[in-house]
Structure formats: structure tokens, C-alpha cells
A and B are shown apart, each in its own frame.
Chain A
Amino acid sequence: MAKNDLQGALDLLILKTLSQLDSMHGYGILMHIRRVSDELLLVEEGSLYPALHRMEQNSWVRASWAVTDYGRKAKWYALTRAGREQLASREKNWAQVVKGVDAVLRFA
């Protein structure tokens, strides 16, 4: 079994979001996850920003300052090649976690 930590879920969500949106700021990522999951998944700011900065240090995402549609200056994040690779492996990993958890739940 791969190293299947449930904590990795947040990273997965962020990476996936960035792959769908190309480039987004922290607030946008938050909103996207909330909207797409029908408000089932509420990511906290306290987890989001440390995660984003960690990914930046690991060179999974790169950041730049740009102006939003509403005229605010924000830090925009986008996936790097390493980030894309990371996403692929995380997705595969997640599928196994789901399978594993499912099997435990179904055990009669």
C-alpha cells in the first residue's frame, strides 16, 4: 500500500482546482472548492495558505501578483510541471485510499 494519508486530501483538492482553473488566487481556490462540492467541503483559510506556501517552496506551484476582475491586487497561483506530476500521483493515491476505506466500511 502506498503512503495513503488522509491529510493529503487538501493538497489534492488544491492541485486539482489549479489544474482546472489554470491560475487562481487563494480566495478563488476556496470558493471554487466550496461551489463545486456543493458546500460539502469547506476549506479553512488557516489550512489553505500554509498549504499553498508549502507547495510554492516545493515548486509545485508558482505565484505572481496580478489584479483580479474586481480590481484587487492578489497573489495568483498556477501549477508547475512538478505540480502536475504531483497531482497525477496524488489522484492515483486517492483512488486507493477510497477503495481501502470503502472496503473497511463494507466489512460485515
Chain B
Amino acid sequence: MALFRRILSLGKRARLEQEIDAELREHMAMSIDDNMAQGMSREEAERDARRRFGNPTVMRERVWTEDAALGLGSFWDDVRGAMRVFTKSPGFSLVVVATLALGIGANAAIFELLDTVLLQSLPVKNPQELAQVSVVNMDKARGSFLSGYPAVTNLIWERLREDHQGFSGIAAWRDVDFSRDSGGDARFVNGLYVSGEFFRVLGVRPAAGRVFTAEDDRSGCGLPGAVISYGFWQQEFGGRPALGQKLRLNDKSVEVIGITSANFFGVAVGRAFDVAVPICSQPYLETGSLLNSSTKWWLSVIGRLDPGWSVRQAAAHLEATSRGIFASTLRADYPPESVKDYLAMKLTVEPSAAGVSMLRETYSNPLRVLLGIAGLVLLITCANLASLMLARTTARERDMAVRLAMGAGRWRLIRLVLGESLLLSLAGVLAGAALAQALSRSLVAYLSTQDHPISLDFKLDWRLFAFLLGISLLTCLLFGLAAALRASCTPPGAAMKAGGRGMTAGRGRLGFRGALVVSQVALSLVLLFCALLFTESLRNLLIDDPGFQSRGVLIATLNFTHLQIPVDRQGAFQRQLLDRIHAIPGVDAAAATGIVPLSGEGWGNAVWIDGHDSIQRWDSNFSDVSPDYFNTLRIPIVAGRDFNDHDTAQSLRAAVVNEAFARKLGLGVNAIGARFWREATPSSPEELNVIVGLVKDTKYSSIRRPPVPIAYLALSQEKEAGSTMQVLVRSRLPINAEEQAIRWTIHNMSSGISFDFEGLQEQIQQSLLPERLLATLSGFFGALAVVLAMTGLYGVMSYTVTERTNEIGIRMALGAQRSDITAIILGKAATLLAAGLVLGAGLSLVAASAASALLFGLKPRDPATLAGAALLLAVVTVVASLLPSMRAANVNPIDSLRAE
């Protein structure tokens, strides 16, 4: 109650004063009544009462002070006092706030990224009701997997659309690139195929025009219209009226019928959509319909749960009805031997309030590790500031002693110092939050590239605010509490004595500051160790030999769909294109391939040796290549031959295999001439292959995985060549000149061919972005930690020297040599350092094993790295303590004693 009244009284001083006045007035009245009852006249009675009462204003003030003394009223006094400290020592405050801003800014930036990528819900109505449908045992599925997200076939989606018990609405989507050029340099937009109900189910309203309805998404619809995003509207039309305007997508014209609301970016976090068209438009926009195939897995299904249905109930229902769904969606194109697996597949439902995200898969672990690292940096920062605050409090001991002597309570002093810390940390948080905005955006810019742009919608949400508030209170307590407690423990008598300095330093005081330094050194070692591990891991990945030479190789992606070349002449056209590119002066070698190594693409099939039972089959990776592929990538041919012009559609399929494949066959070099079968696929029956060549092992889809068995097939023996091709070009020209030469060559053949270039080496390095992010940022944090540890130790040692000046003077007067004094001070520093290193080594090993999944080519407990980190830290900190120890050695005994 009292506290409640105190809070109320904050703004109600006037009312409180009235109450006090009333109380005192009544007192006077009673006093006068009594006097008159004893026979005094009214005047006499009043005079007597006033005399006894004294000055009423002074009285009221005194009573008011009592009411306010313990109240929040004095809180403002604390704040004002703290402000005064700021204005008195702006340099100190600036250093503290800047240090805090750095530490907090780094944390907030990484948290903001983590929040946006991992935690935030989709910007749609009631996102918590959203759930996605996925296949439980996708590894059993056969066919083409055209989406990076959980996906089903169109046939399965149509069944789900008909019967979606448990969902009030259900929708399907797939992200896709639409080309916007008609030859020349390729330009793409981020497209979406969506089912008719997609926008309605998500609750997305149009900002202009209309969104699709079920009526728009009927098979054979052609291209009924496009709904564009707000961002694309701004970028493409500059915000001018766009309804009814035409867009060209994949060489087809489409009318804009609607614009979505500004905050809706799609359902994939990190990849904002530009243009959405109905699913039924797919056959019209692309060659080859995906609509009636049971082997094309491309549509992601998202639904809004019925009120009263939980995710679990919906999942149970869908699992129970899975059998019927799969049985009714099986088509003749499904490989017969896998039909049993297909029928045994199950569908399930998972919550999807946060949508889906490739970024989430790639960056969730690195971001968590980085947040941990940034947290450690903040801890070290706090330790440094705690030391600083403590030193200041010690300097203000007399001030505190005077306050104590004047009757201030311990709590009052604690509040005074904590108030300062709080104000400092709040200022630090404000500056840090501002810094974080810039930092998180530059982080995204760092991760985003021209070919893989990342669009993130940063929002200031309650999580970030809670994070910032928590962090500010925590830092305030961490760095302010020690100083506050110290201040409140000041013995008034001792501190008031002249000089206030004994012959030797109090052990306890340095003890605490020493502990701070030890923990700083320990944490710095952890950070340095992690930074070295991640850097070394990145280096291992960069210098890792994938088995081929990526330097100097350009990937040219060519698309001649516009030319509408008949299927039977596409192969010849591709060869012609390749020959032209090969003929460019400066080009050493060029080859076409279906799978660019280390690009993340893959093609796997089961194989077995001819003559063996097909039960004894195992999985191999495949690639289809043109002659000269191995020369282009400098993959040595160990035995046999490369593909050549005699490998045609009429001859037996030739295969070049790598050594891992031959080992798996148990044949070694004798593999040449051996025959193996490749299983039937949706597009081809079982096929017999004869091994004509053996090449060295190379890595296949990712540089992080060891080499795997690979069988290369001849592109010239494929039945359908297709109208797109990927050409690897090795040349001596600078990359720009090379691109320009290829542009010219292709343009001279036909202006209807579109092309896109990327360096093979750049693409591989691109795939190492998570590692690069970890190495760069942890390196930065590690360096920061070392600097902080250095200043921490320097501060403590300087303090020790100042405090022990008398002692040093006496020692020198008694005959101690300068080297002895240096040894004393350095010894002290070495003790702290050693304790910190031992503690840090233990912590490092724990921390590193937690991060082991993110390392490549080295063990998390790598002793050499740990030793290196410890050595580096030791050297740096010893250097930091050299200066104070030299100052100690230069103490003039006469001066130091005279000062007493």
C-alpha cells in the first residue's frame, strides 16, 4: 500500500501537501478547542496553539520530506545526480557508451537477423493457423524434385484441394524464375505459381485490382493474368497505375490484374516474389506440362486449420487417408519397381506460421553460434566496464564516505551508483540499437549476391525490444553492481583519513578486479579459439582439392527456347553452339554438362553389374557430359578414353566412371569394358552401359562431402537434348573479355538465344558463404575480445602500480633493484594470465565441441589451434602489462614517500 501511494504520489505532490495541511490544521483546531475548554479566550487559545506549533510551512516541508524520502520522488534525484556525473566527466561517459554500443549493437544485429529469418511469423492474417502438408518419407519418392521445399505432385495437390478436412482452406504454390528477355543477356523475375485460393487462404488483400480466385485456376486456362507484388509494382512501374498493363514472362504476354498489399512478400522468407500466376498456366509458360505427372514433385501445400482442429489432429487425419490419396494419384509413368514404395508413403501436417526459408536451413546454426559469440563479447565488455566503474568508485570513496557520514543509507548509495550504470547502459542500448540497424543490413548485403539476392523484411518487433531491454538491464547489473556494492561498503572513518591510502594495497580489492581480468582472459581465449577454428575451417574448404580445377572456368547457361528448334535437331544445334564457343580465340576447352559440379545439383540412380541380380543394386551419382569435359575441368583420365563423336544414339551407351565407382564395383583399372545397368526412370527404361573410361575422383554436389561414385554418360546419346544447355568454358582471357567474346559469338548465331554467365570458382565460393560469414565475424569478434582483454589487464596493472607506489618506493629505498620491481608487477600479471588461460582452455574445449558440426577438415579439439590462440593471447597481454611494470620500475622512492 505504502509503495502504491508512493508511486501515486509521484505526480501528486500537490494533493499530498493538501492532505498534510489538513492534518496539521485539524491538529491546531483541536489544540485551540482544548485551550478554550480550559478557559482561554479565543485569541489567547489561538496564539498559544500557534506558539507551540511553530512555523506551519517549515513543518509541512519536514513532513513532506519524510513522505518523499523513501519514495520514488527521490528516484528522479538519483537520475539527476547521475546526469550530473555525465556532464562532469563526458569523456568517461562517452567511452562507456561507445563500448556498450559496440557490444550491444553486434548482439542486436545478429539477433535481428536471427529473429527475421527464424522466428518471425508471416505477414498474413492469423499466421499461427497456417500449416504445411509434406511427405513423411520423401526418400522413397521417385522422379524429379523441382522445389527446395517440401513438395507434392500436382495430382496429389488436386486430391488435397478436393478433400481438405481439418483445413478451412488450402493452397499450393511453387517459386520459379520467369525470363523477361527475348534473347541476349538473361533477365529474370521471381515468379510464383499459385493455386486459385492462395491469396484468400493466406488472407492477403489486393492493394489494387483483384487477387486470383478458384475460377482463375482451371486446367487449360492459358495465362489469365498476373498478380504482382507491391515491391515489383514500385520497381517496375514506379507506382504508376499498372492494372491492365502487359508483362512479358517466358516470351508470353500477360496482363496485370492486381497488386498485393505492401507487407506481403510471399511465403518464403528471404525470397520475395515479384509476379504470381495460376498453377494452370504452367504448361503454357514452360515446355512440358507438370500437371499430369506422378513423378514431378513441385508444389508446396499450405493450409489454414479449421478452428477446433489442431496440427496433430490434421496430421493424424491426413496420415490415415494417405493410402487412398497415393493410390488414386499413381500414373503409368511411375517406375514399376517403386510403386510399392509410392503406395506406402504418408502425408503429414506441420505448423508453418513462419513460412519456409532456404536461409533458415543454411544460416540457423551459424547465426546461433554467432549470437553466442557476440554474447561472450558483451560479457567481456561488461567485465571491462565493471573494472572501470570500480576504479571510479574507488576514486570517489571520499565522496561516498561523506554521504555516509551525513546519514545516507547503504541502499541509497547502491541506488546512486546503479542509477549511473542504468543511465549508461540505456544510452548504450539506444546507440547500439541504432548501430544494429546498419549492421544487420550490411550483413544481409554481405550475404546477398547478384545471382542469389536475399530480401528480408526487417521489422522492429516485441522480441527485439524484449531482447534489448533484457540486455540493458543485464549489462547494467553486470558492470554496475560490483561498483555499487563496493560503494556501499565504504567505511566512512577509514576513507575520511587524510590520503586514504595505506602502505600496501588491500588484497580483496585487487582480488575482485583480478577475477574480472581472469574471466576476461578466459572468455577471450574461447573467442580467439573459435575464430581460429572457423578461419582454419574456411581455409581448408577454400584450398580443398575437389579433384578438378575450377579457376579460369566460366559457366555459360544458354537458352534457345525462343528459336523453337524441333526436338530432333536440338542436339545438333547444341553441338554447333559448343563448336562456335570452342573456336573463340583464347578459349582452351569447352564442354557441355547437365550437372555443374559443386553447384548443389544432383542426379542419382540405382545401378547393378550386368549379370548380377538387380537386388544387389546400389546408388551412384550421374552426370551427362560432352566430349572434352574432363579436359576442360582438368580431371585426369586414368584409363580408357574420353567420349567422342562415335558415341551416338544408335550405339551402346558408353560410360566414363570415376575410381570410387570402380572400387565399388570391385574392379579397379580393370573396370574398362565392364557393363552395368541403370534402373528405369520415369523418362527412360532400364539401360545397359559399358564402361569406356576411368577418371580420378572428384567431389560431386558439395565441397563439404568427400568424393562419391560418379558415372558420366554421353550427352550425345541422350534421346532429347532440350533447348537449354550449360557450357563450361576454360580460357586464358580475363573473365570480362571472355564473356564479351561469347556474347558476340552467340549473338552472331542468333539474337534469340539468351545467356547467363557465372564463374565456376565464384559459384563454389558462393556456396561457402555460411562458413565465410562465421569466419569473418568470429574473427572480428575474436580480435575485439583480445583488444578488450588487453585494455582490461593494462587497466588493472596500472591501477595496481598506482596503488602500490608507496610500497614500491619503500622497497626501492631498502635496496630493491628496478628489475625486482618489474618482476613483481609482471609476476602478478602472469599469474592472472595463467589462471585465465587455464580456465579458458577448459571452456574452449566445451564450446568447440558444440560447434563441431560447423567445422571442416579439423577436429574441434585441435590442440595446435588452442595452443596458437593461447600463445597469441599471452603475447598480447604481456605486452599490455609491460608499460605499467616499466612505470613501476621508474618510481622515484623519494617522491613517492614524500607524497605521503
Interface residues of A (CB under 8 A from B): 25-27, 31, 44-46, 49-51, 53-54, 56-59, 62, 68, 70, 72-75
Contacts and interface: CB of A to CB of B under 8 A. Distances in A.
A45 B63 contact: no
B67 A72 contact: no
Contacts of B22: 73, 75
Interface stretch (B52-60, B116-124, B350-358, B707-715): B52-60
Nearest to B24: A49
A68 B69 CA distance: 30
Interface of B: 1-2, 6, 19-20, 22-24, 26-27, 29-31, 33-34, 52-54, 58-59, 62-63, 65-67, 69-71
Contacts of B66: 50-51, 53-54, 57
Contacts of B24: 45, 49
B23 A49 contact: yes
Nearest to A63: B23
Contact of A62 (B1, B23, B62, B71): B1
Contact of B63 (A50, A58, A74): A50
Given A46-B54, A59-B2, A70 B33 contact: yes
Given A46-B54, A49-B24, A73-B26, A27 B63 contact: no
Contacts of A31: 34
B2 A26 contact: no
Given A57-B71, A72-B26, 4 more contacts: A44-B54, A54-B69, A70-B30, A70-B33
A53 B60 CA distance: 11
A104 to B, nearest CB: 24
Contacts of B53: 45-46
A45 B65 contact: no
A50 B62 contact: yes
Contacts of A27: 26-27, 30-31
Nearest to A54: B66
Contacts of B33: 70
Contact of A45 (B27, B34, B70): B27
B70 A57 contact: yes
Contact of A72 (B29, B52, B65, B69): B29
Nearest to A28: B30
B23 A75 contact: yes
Contacts of A74: 23, 26-27, 30
Contacts of B65: 50
B596 to A, nearest CB: 77
A40 B29 CA distance: 24
A41 to B, nearest CB: 15
A94 B16 CA distance: 34
A67 B2 CA distance: 23
Given A45-B52, A46-B59, A49-B63, A57 B2 contact: yes
Nearest to A72: B26
A46 B24 CA distance: 10
Contacts of B34: 31
Contacts of B63: 49-50, 53
Nearest to A73: B26
Nearest to B37: A70
Contacts of B19: 75
Contacts of A68: 30
A26 B27 contact: yes
B509 to A, nearest CB: 28
A53 B62 CA distance: 10
B651 to A, nearest CB: 101
A51 B67 CA distance: 10
A51 B33 CA distance: 24
Nearest to A74: B26
Interface centre among A26, A27, A62, A72 (most CB of B within 10 A): A27
Interface centre among A31, A50, A73 (most CB of B within 10 A): A50
A58 B5 CA distance: 12
B875 to A, nearest CB: 55
Nearest to B26: A74
Given A26-B23, A45-B53, A57-B2, A72 B62 contact: no
Nearest to A53: B66
Contacts of A57: 2, 6, 66-67, 69-71
5 contacts: A50-B63, A54-B69, A72-B29, A74-B23, A75-B22
Nearest to A62: B1
A79 B4 CA distance: 19
A66 B52 CA distance: 25
Interface centre among B23, B33, B58 (most CB of A within 10 A): B23
A53 B67 CA distance: 6
B54 A58 contact: no
Contacts of B69: 54, 57
Contacts of A25: 26-27, 30
A58 B31 CA distance: 28
A58 B70 contact: yes
A72 B6 CA distance: 27
B30 A56 contact: no
Contacts of B62: 46, 49-50
Contacts of B70: 57-58
A27 B33 CA distance: 11
Contacts of B59: 45-46, 49
A27 to B, nearest CB: 4
A56 B66 CA distance: 9
Contacts of B31: 27
Given A50-B65, A50-B66, A45 B26 contact: no
A45 to B, nearest CB: 5
10 nearest interchain CB pairs? A53-B66, A27-B30, A54-B66, A75-B23, A50-B66, A50-B62, A57-B70, A49-B63, A74-B26, A27-B27
Nearest to B3: A59
A79 to B, nearest CB: 14
Contacts of A50: 62-63, 65-66
Contacts of B6: 57
A56 B52 contact: no
A72 B179 CA distance: 92
A70 B63 CA distance: 25
A68 B66 CA distance: 25
Contacts of A62: 1
Contacts of A49: 20, 23-24, 27, 59, 62-63
Contacts of A72: 26, 29-30
Contacts of A73: 22, 26
A68 B29 CA distance: 12
B842 to A, nearest CB: 47
A56 B20 CA distance: 13
Interface centre among B1, B24, B54, B66 (most CB of A within 10 A): B66
B117 to A, nearest CB: 51
Contacts of B2: 56-59
A25 B20 CA distance: 13
B789 to A, nearest CB: 45
Nearest to B54: A46
